[in-house]
Amino acid sequence: MPKIVVIGSGIAGLFAALRLSEAGNQVTIITKERSVDSSTNWAQGGIAGILDKTDGEGKESHIKDTLVAGDGLCDRTVVERVVEEAGDRIRDLLSYGVDFQKEGDDFHLVKEGGHSARRILHARDATGAEIERALTEAILQKDNIEVREYCLGVDLIQRVHGQPEMGIKGIWCLDLETENMNALYADAVLIATGGCGQLWEKTTNPKVASGDGLAMAVRAGASSKDMAFFQFHPTALMTGNDKPFLITEALRGEGGIILDDSGLKNYNINGGLPEKYSFTLEYSELGSLATRDVVARSCDQRMKITGAKNVWLITDHLPKELLHSNFPTIEKRLNEFGLSLGKDPLPVAPAAHYMVGGLKVDIQGRVMMSNDNPIPGLYGIGEVACTGMHGANRLASNSLLEAVVFANRAAEHFISNPIDSEEEIPKWRADGMQELIEHAPLVRDLETLRKTMTHDVGIVRSFSRLERAGRMLDLLTEEVDLIWRKSIPTRELVEIRNLVLVATHITNDAIQRKENRGLHYNIDLI
């Protein structure tokens, strides 16, 4: 019986594990914390898709919106296939027990930035948590799926050391409860580890988002793609809270408007609809519902011009019953800070949100080398992968869709092309290594890394700041490598090793780009 290791417990990893198990494979899911501690669980908005396969006009509209948001860099073939498969994959989620919100007998659909129509299924403002719940419950019913929590993937094991073209045969992972390093054999490894939002000081991502899967694949010979494109969500709640809380784009889809201090003042004095006072109209005729790259950049630039720490999301012109019914999670969190929907201006600002670039994969989710050949037995799915779906900027609520479509494709590819050749795998060697007792240098290095990425590789960039970041990353790489070579791995050491590597790929890709496109905006290229 083939053995597969899935790294990550979000929608991509769980869905792929279910598909593989249903075909008779033995699946082990490893996840750094609890199964629910994934970016999927934090996703509020929803999953975009056309359920009716005969709705050619609806699918063509979804394709067009995706291509426009991607600013000319989407792979049209990938976009068409994902949109075409959306209905089937959403029905799969329904079959696993996902409970999307309904309006009568039909699903209640919402609209978000960049969408020209209502096509997003949701579970109020906790869609990710509902998907995570249903898939996790389905996983628990499978005898051939093992879930190992508090298990951190460290490095992939190659079939022939130094020859990625020969494939992957397992993974070394750190048991965070026993602190033991274990080697797991795998006929195939599916990387579904999400993104790397922890590179920046302010992020909507969970603390597990440290780029682990991308980094270990790159060290095993994989190629990254489009790493310069990192999406900042324009409306994260900023009330002095250490952890920014995402205010879903669906709130703007229902009519929420972004204002700066001046716009808020004029709105309070003159009244009327707040939209006419929004500075976002200076950047796009779509105003607060423009694509995320445009809205985040407009917020960032306005805050820099005025010196303000935030802009404002206004909802007091909207029906309170609708807001409190559709956004209970947000309302509950706002109440903790003495705020309420439909009443108070909400202080918001952009925060690091989604890695649009990632591991270069093909249409089946196979991870590619620099020569465009796949690494046998290695797949990348979900946020960690760069499929060509998102181009230079992801359209809202396309991420869950892409994840489930490519999870299915990767699983189907392995099922049709099985590998079953269990081999001996080497044990982790710690000869001469010492326990890392003093973590203070790593803490300082992590602070330096986050400040560098925040100030020099953020929403708006320049060549001088990118080159400065590159020099700092070279130094951090050297310092972290010195500690890595002589120390028994800890979670802190593994994570900063991965973060520095991913940051280097992001920065190098940004330096090499000679035009502004989507999420990459260099003031020297204007």
Burial class of 23 by CB neighbour count within 10 A (0 to 12, 13 to 18, 19+): middle
Cα–Cα distance, 371 to 385 (Å, whole number): 17
Q: What is the pLDDT along the chain (526 residues), one digit of tens a residue?
A: 899 999 999 999 999 999 999 999 999 999 998 766 666 655 667 999 999 989 999 999 999 999 999 999 999 999 999 999 999 999 999 999 999 999 888 999 998 889 999 999 999 878 888 999 999 999 999 999 999 999 999 999 999 999 999 999 999 999 999 989 999 999 999 999 999 999 999 999 989 999 999 999 999 999 999 999 999 999 999 987 678 889 988 899 899 999 999 999 999 999 999 999 999 999 999 999 999 899 999 999 999 999 999 999 999 999 998 898 889 889 999 999 999 999 999 999 999 999 999 999 999 999 999 999 999 999 999 999 999 999 999 999 999 999 999 999 999 999 999 988 777 887 776 655 566 656 678 899 999 999 999 999 999 999 999 999 999 999 999 999 999 998 889 999 999 999 999 999 999 999 999 999 999 999 999 8
* Residue tagged active-site, from 292, 297, 333, 465: 292
Q: Which amino acid is it at 242?
A: D
Q: Could you confirm whether 461 is annotated as catalytic?
A: no
Per-residue pLDDT tens digits for 470-493: 999 999 999 999 999 988 899 999
Written as six digits, the tokens of 408 are: 């299915």
pTM over 0.85: yes
* pLDDT score, position 458: 96
Cα-Cα end-to-end distance for the chain: 57
The per-residue b/e assignment along 477-515, b for 16 or more CB within 10 angstroms, e otherwise, is: eebbeebeeebebbbebbbbbbbbbbbbbbbbbbbebee
Tell me how crowded residue 157 is: count the other CB atoms within 10 A of its CB.
20
Q: For 234-350, give the CATH class.
A: alpha beta
- CATH superfamily for 1-47+126-229+356-427 is FAD/NAD(P)-binding domain (3.50.50.60)
- Domain edges within the chain: 1-47+126-229+356-427, 234-350, 440-525
Cα–Cα distance, 385 to 357 (Å, whole number): 7
Phi and psi angles of residue 215, each rounded to the nearest 5 degrees, phi first:
-65, -45
List residues bridging with 360 in a β-sheet: 386
Give the helix ranges, DSSP H, for 349-398.
Answer: none
CATH of range 440-525; options 1.20.58.100, 3.40.30.10, 3.10.25.10, 3.30.465.10: 1.20.58.100
Question: Which residues are CB-contacts of 38 (< 8 A; sequence separation ≥ 6)?
Answer: 8, 9, 10, 11, 13, 31, 132, 194, 206, 208
DSSP 8-state code for residue 131: H
